[in-house]
Structure 1
Amino acid sequence: MRWLPVLLLAVSIAVQETSADRILVLGESVAVKDTHSNFLNSVKERGHELTVRAADDSQLALFKHGQPIFEHLFILAPGVQVFGGSLSPNEISKFVDAGGNVLVAAGSNIGDALRELAVEHGFEFDEAGTSVIDHHNYDKTLDSGDHTTIVVSKDQLINAELIVGNSAKLSPVIFKGVGLIPGKTNNLALNIVKASGTAYSFDPNAARATNPALAGSRMLLIGGLQSRNNARIVLSGSVDFFSNAFFAAKTNSANPSVKPGPSGNGELAAAIVQWVMKESGVLRVKSVSHHKNGEMVPPAEDYFITEDVVYTIEIEELKNGKWVPFQGKDVQLEFVRIDPFVRVTLKNNNGKLTAAFKLPDVLGVFKFLVDYRRVGYTHLYDVQQVSVRPLWHTQYERFIRSAYPYYASSFSMMAGLVLFSIVYLYHKDSPVKGVKVLDSEKKKN
């Protein structure tokens, strides 16, 4: 029966890896299941469990006994003023801190709840009643005359295939909603979909637009961020962007350079949702090893200065629900004490990344550090601490080529001393010419 605990552990791990993610979907009413059924069904078909509730439901909660009930939160209720139950912008921030992922879809009738939630995460929606207006890129068929139903081209998407899919093959998408802007101190902001240079945000019912608060490409239609704990948040200014009507619509832009055709809302929404739910762009470390060159295991004690070492790390990427070898070619390794002493790009051999280098001639406590940050990927961080010590006295070379001048000076000094001693001991002085020698000195001689 010794194998029973091992079997149960393996089964539990397999169940965890294959279990469906739980998603809480909030709408202004449960009718969101009908108006956005194509979007919700596409998520459900990937094996996830959806719970659809009204945003003001008095039974709403994200935690039970201090643990998250759901893995993801979708808010498709732009007009909500106050969330129901225990839900609040502060509670949603705690949910993100616990690793939960959030998708928010707003609109021109945006309520205080979503505006406050955006501020909590470094973004700001424009005021209620405003819309993104573009007189050069509106849809001639779907627009009601105020030019708020705009057509977005692929040039306005972020250059990150992990987030928006293959933008080169993506059809133009339709957007109708409120503008968004990242905070000045939000260094984690991602400009997923930018507005065009001719767009601005204002009340379409106003007589004339004067000094709009948001204008040009600095305004976002869809923004996002990946927090430092790898939780992901996407904020869309349009709930209609995910609707059945926009999924099935055909674009007819006023811009003659944009060809009419079926909208790409479905493809773009699917790519964004897969990213925010961590179905793409997720990395993990499978194994790490380091050893002296020519050996296979780490040293029993410490490394010595100037030794040749080999470092290997295996990285996997989540694709289509399976972990596959990561094929990135730009992962770097740093050998750090306080500052990096060595920085080298790892060579990738089907997910096994390797580097060989010589340790610096400096002793101390060092770290093998891999800190990989790329747009769309989760933050990969791995540290292996080692000690580097000086050589034993028996490990130094007996004769060092760079010390040959000192050897020569030592031997030349000894040779000079011997010659001087011989001359001093055996040299006999001769009389000086012109000097008379006394008789007493002669007798002595």
Structure 2
Amino acid sequence: MRWLPTVLLLVSVIIDQSCADRVLVLGETAAIKDSHSQFLNSIKERGHELTIRTADDSQLALFKHGQLIFDHLFVLAPGVQVFGGSLTPSEISKFVDEGGNVLVAADSNIGDALRELAVEHGFEFDEAGTSVIDHHNYDQSLDPGDHTTVVVGKDQLISAELIVGNSAKLGPVIFKGIGLVAGKTNNLALSIVKASGTAYSFDPKATRVVNPSIAGSRTLLVGGLQSRNNARIVFSGSTDLFSNAFFSAQTNSVNPAVGAAASGNAELASAIAKWVMKESGVLRVKSVNHHKKGETMPPAEDYFIAEDVVYTIEIEELKNGKWVPFHGKDVQLEFVRVDPFVRATLKNNNGRLSAAFKLPDVLGVFKFLVDYRRVGYTHVYDVLQVSVRPLWHTQYERFIRSAYPYYASSFSMMAGLVLFSIVYLYHKDTPVKGAKVLDSEKKKN
């Protein structure tokens, strides 16, 4: 029995490896392992299995026999013109449609492959050779003189801790690369990191700036979206944002409001990677129940109009690899036929959300609907269909107090009819003295 602990340990290791997320990392060269080792090692330390390849590898593929080979795709190869193997922007889009998550990092020497991939997901990078320039927020120590090494302040980050971490504790972020914009029809776009109002995108080698294509806070440094199937994709205009050099750098902004401080790139990159890989901001429905007030189980048949009903839903959130009760207090329930008849905010008791209400005095097929959409969280959509029917004829009250006047009017009319009938049938007319006899009566006589 001495070998039993060893066997159990091996089995647990095998199970952990089989359950680990598979990540495909693409770089322009194998040097990506050294230049971005801190970022890649942080992902390994969280239990993920990394496969690092060059972007032009002839064996690249995301599907095998119609199944996903990888769970996540990181593209850190900005200059790639054509992907190797069967990998194409269309296949990456199919990968996202199947639930895969993608992180793309570009640069000023962006190739056609990444530009096409961004367009397919509602974003557009600026022209190759351009960079984000900010004469009021650049790093004095790292910048080569063209003011393209931009220092990003906390106010330029999206207000979502699930995506960028705790911005209050985050140091200044260093960015050097190309800008991008979200399409006007991209309703799912998230402005994760925006440029400042003094920034613009242009060729830093140009002697004169004329009508930059994008400028101000419309310029995105990092953008992303969460698709309707909850798959996540992030586009960064800088590969250096995730590099060892920027992770360990000491910022020295020309802006006195920022000053000198340790770089916050490591914390920001880690938070973005966790969000992309669904290590944060993931919700799931554990159980749903509905029943009449005073009972614990749903009715055997349908509900009746105007009954008191209790609805309960349990929602869990994934935190640090464990499912814990969700403590959100803004989840709403709608009782819908075509339009909502009832809308109520659910009361949260340690992840158990409930609401009690009276059914409308309207019959039909209704739905208990929870549709929860918040920035950073996966979409929670739960629907239960129930029927609401009128009361049986034996369930109505025999006499309704509010109808007493109508009852009285009915009985008074019946009594009046009886009196009128008696008077009409049994009343005799008496002749009047001195009345003239008609001619017809005279003839008879």
TM-score by length of structure 1 reads 0.92
1:146 alignment partner in structure 2: 146
Residue 405 of structure 1: how far off its partner (Å): 2.5
Mapping 1:263-278, distance limit 5 Å: 263-278=263-278
- How far apart are residue 414 of structure 1 and its match? 1.8
Q: Distance in 1 between matches of 2:260 and 2:375?
A: 31
Match of 1:97 in 2: 97
Matched, 1:297 2:291: no
Note the C-alpha offset of 1:108: 0.5
Q: Distance in 2 between matches of 1:98 and 1:416?
A: 79
Q: Which stretch has the larger CA shift, 361-370 or 210-219? A: 361-370
2:21 pairs with 1:21: yes
Per-residue CA distance 1:110-163 (angstroms, 9 max, x = gap): 111100110010100001100000000011111010000010000001111111
C-alpha displacement of 1:400? 1.9
Alignment of 1:165-180 (within 5 A): 165-180=165-180
- The 5-angstrom pairing of residues 209-248 of structure 1 reads 209-248=209-248
Find the counterpart in structure 2 of residue 6 from structure 1: none
Residue 387 in structure 1 maps to residue 372 in structure 2: no
Q: In the alignment, which residue of structure 2 is the partner of 1:412?
A: 412
* Post-superposition offset of 1:433: 8.2
Paired residue for 1:71? Answer: 71
How many residues align? The count is 428
Give the Cα separation in 2 of the matches to 1:130 and 1:264.
Answer: 25
> Which ranges of structure 2 fall in alignment gaps of 5 or more residues?
1-10, 438-445
Q: Secondary structure at the match of 2:256?
A: coil
* Structure 1 gap ranges (5+): 1-10, 438-445
CA distance in 2, matches of 1:430, 1:138: 122
- CA deviations on 1:33-66 (whole Å, 9 max, x unpaired) are 1000111111111111111111111111111111
Amino acid across the alignment from 2:224: G
| Distance in 2 of aligned mates of 1:354 and 1:242 | 43
Aligned: 1:286 with 2:286: yes
Q: How does 1:203-214 map to 2 (within 5 A)?
A: 203-214=203-214
Q: d(CA) in 2 for partners of 1:156 and 1:367?
A: 41
Instruction: Tell me how far apart the structure 1 counterparts of residues 256 and 36 of structure 2 sit (CA, whole Å).
Output: 30
1:114 aligns with 114
Amino acid at match of 2:341: F
Quote the offset at 1:435 in angstroms. Answer: 6.2
Q: Does residue 329 of structure 2 align to residue 329 of structure 1? A: yes
Q: What's the C-alpha RMSD, in Å, of the aligned pairs?
A: 2.1
Looking at structure 2, the residues matched to 142 and 228 of structure 1 have their Cα atoms a distance apart, in angstroms, of 40
What is the rounded CA distance, in whole Å, between the counterparts of 1:430 and 1:101 in structure 2? 107
**Using the alignment, how far apart are the partners of 2:213 and 2:293 within structure 1?**
61
Partner of 2:156: 156
Distance in structure 2 (CA, Å) of the matches to 1:352 and 1:432: 92
Which residue in 1 is equivalent to 2:249? 249
Q: CA deviation at 1:409?
A: 1.2
Give the distance between the partners of 1:389 and 1:213, measured in 2 at CA: 61
- Note the 1:183-202 alignment, pairs <5 A: 183-202=183-202
Rounded Cα–Cα distance in structure 1 between residues aligned with 2:263 and 2:364:
60
Q: Does 1:400 align with 2:372?
A: no
Shift of residue 420, structure 1, vs aligned partner: 3.0
Partner of 2:43: 43
CA distance in 2, matches of 1:404, 1:184: 64
Q: Residue 4 of structure 2 aligns with which residue?
A: none
Amino acid aligned to 2:335: F
Match in the other structure for 1:5? none
Matched residues in 1 for 2:255 and 2:188: separation?
33
Q: Which residue number in structure 1 is paired with residue 367 of structure 2?
A: 367
Distance 1:422 1:28, change over 3 A: same
